[in-house]
Amino acid sequence: MTTTPADPEGQEATLELLNSELASRLTRQSDSLAKIDTKAVFLIGFAATAAQFLATHKHEPVLTYLAFVAYALALAAGMQTFRVADHQDLEARPLLDTHAGLPKGQALAALTAARVVIFERNQERERQKAKCWAISLWSLVIGLVLSTAALVMHD
């Protein structure tokens, strides 16, 4: 639900301040989402490399199997990080078509309200991506511990 001020024309300075802050927050949010994706890429690559290393060495079978399961979970959770929808932003054409004829105060109020909605949607995506990344990280750590044990315990 979006709310706009009763008299947007009388609150232009406040709306400009809020709109500017929301634009900055959306930029920071986009950067944060991109950083999570970058971290997931490194985890996926490391998990794949670790699994290949384990597969080419003599190892204890049960621990190796468990390590491969952990690596598979790390890969799946890392890929899930990318599957979560991308950062949303304002659509340029609808924004122009809908707000071009409005007085400045009304346009600022609508723009600010739209940015709040987008920020809230992106915030949920960010939480989902971070959760998937954390699962991937801990699965990788468990896989590495199990791999080390499987290699050390080999007869």
Q: How many CB atoms lie within 10 A of CB 103?
A: 11
> What per-residue confidence (pLDDT) applies to 1?
45
N residues, the chain? 155
CA pair distance 109, 94, nearest whole angstrom: 16
**Whole-number pLDDT of residue 7:** 60
- pLDDT tens-digit readout, 109-120: 888 888 888 888
67-71, 116-120, 131-135 — which is least confidently predicted? 116-120
Of 47-51, 88-92, 116-120, 131-135, the one with minimum mean pLDDT is 88-92
Average pLDDT over residues 20-29: 86
- H or E element in which residue 118 lies: helix 104-152
pLDDT, greater one: 7 or 101: 101
Q: 151 CB contacts (<8 Å, ≥6 apart)? A: 54, 57, 58, 59, 60
- At residue 102, φ and ψ (nearest 5 deg) are -80, 155
